[in-house]
Amino acid sequence: MSGSTKRIIITCLVIFIICLCLGTVAAGVAGWYAYQNAPQLLTGNRCAGIPNPNPALDTTGQMDLIENQVSILRGLTASNPVDRGFLTNEELNQRVLTDFFKDFTDEDEITQVRVLAVLGLLDKNFNLKKFYIDLYSEQIAGFYDQDTKEMVVINSGSFGGSQRMTYAHEYTHVLQDQTYDIQNGLNVNEDSCEKDSERCAAITALLEGDASLTESRWFGTHATKQDCEDVTNFYLTFQSPMFEAAPAYMKQDFIFPYVQGKDFVQSLYDASGQAGVDAAYTNQPQTTEQILHPERYPNDKAVTVETPDLTGALGAGWIEIDRGVLGEWYTYLVLAFGLNPEAQIAGDEAQQAAEGWGGDQYVVYYNETEQKAALVLKTTWDDLSEANQFSQAFKTYAGLRFGTPTAEGQARWETTEGLTTFYQKAETTYWLMTASAAQLDAVLQEMELP
């Protein structure tokens, strides 16, 4: 989805990515990755025979050792030492909040909520900025700052198993940046992500999947008995009330670059070793479809889809507030993880309905006076059967969200949100939301639909 990026902040244990009006933004949700992977990492008592860290090594010495170990495992060599900034919890939170939110205006927040609301993912009155701040304050534990080229580390007085595993993850990002230049070489920056956030989401999944796999490999190779005890204790005591309180779609989106990204990178590694992972940095994935279906990378390309400017058809007072690509991932989220649990269709059905995605463009319009939104989502599918499958799934979703159609046999629903209509034209589908029937007629005429 469309947007802009101040920077990509590579964090300690897990990052979430939001490709919406705010853009491809990565921020820390510390602890989730270690928590979810602890059972797998600890299987087989792998650390029983490995001695504990050298007591003569202070935190700096341990970081130096981990950097060397990660460099060997990942097969990349740093061109420059990385600066480390040690901050207290309060200093770290303040720095992240200041860096992240100084450009996130009230208008940005309002626009993002309106887009998410019309897609059925978020309540229109949701206080998004406050939620972000509360979540960051609960979870942030450190990050790699691409602007300053500095590793920002929490100065907690200890450097146990979770922190050591985290450092292995973070340092992988240093190696990625020094080798491939994330902002300029990979073109993951504010301007490019504003234009193509779907591509940025895919590349971020590559970056995070690579770091997550390297982190797991480091733990399996170098974790000590004490590391295993620390991670076990972390797993048994970990709590994240703000993360658990997040809207359903958001929790899934937070972990996308780590879960699906790691699976994508693992498939490359299994097929061709580290050389296969390295090759993806010169031929980057371009869509979330490629991340979700590694077998489709790199040959399955998205189709470019365009929709006309409908402000004239919508009438006076309507303005376009967002235009972008939903992608396979967000198509799935809309169907399966909407705001209202009663309007969510089964995950397997949603996944099957979305996986025939070939390309799309969505546009959201808003009328400030009427406090109404309008939506156009035009999607091209791989073939007619895939379009038919999505059509069936969408009608189920629309019935759950909007209620009974206005007339038998018609894919049209009328609620307080407005008038929702669904069309299929061969391999292309159209989801339209307008404020009135007259407005819908004008939109259909502009788009040359029956």
The residue count for the chain: 450
Q: Is the CB of residue 168 less than 8 Å from the CB of residue 214?
A: yes
420 sits in which H/E element: strand 418-425
- pLDDT of res. 230: 86
pLDDT for the residue numbered 93: 76
Higher pLDDT, residue 155 or 130: 130
What average pLDDT does the chain have?
86
H or E element at residue 26: strand 24-28
Question: Over 268-313, what HEC string results?
Answer: HHHHHHHHHHHHCCCCCCCCHHHHHCHHHCCCCCCCCCCCCCCHHH
pLDDT, tens digit (0-9, with 9 covering 90-100), for 371-394: 999 999 999 999 999 999 999 999
For residue 144, what pLDDT is reported? Answer: 85
- pLDDT of 46 strictly over 80: no
Domain locations along the chain: 9-296, 311-446
40 by Cβ neighbours in 10 Å (0-12 / 13-18 / 19+) ranks as exposed
**Apex 275 CA angle, 272 and 276, nearest 5:** 50
CB atoms within 10 A of CB 45: 9
Selection from 80-89, 218-227, 347-356 with the highest mean pLDDT = 347-356
Q: Is the pLDDT of residue 86 over 70?
A: yes
DSSP conformational letter for 58: -
Asked whether residue 21 carries a pLDDT value surpassing 60, the answer given is no
CB 5 within 8 A of CB 196: no
349 pLDDT exceeds 50? yes
Q: 47 falls in which pLDDT band (50, 70, 90)?
A: low
Residue 319 pairs in a beta bridge with 366
The pLDDT of residue 36 is 59
- Looking at residue 320, what is its pLDDT? 98
Any idea of the CA torsion for 90, 93, 97, 100, to the nearest 10 degrees? 150
Rounded CA separation 271/266 (Å): 8
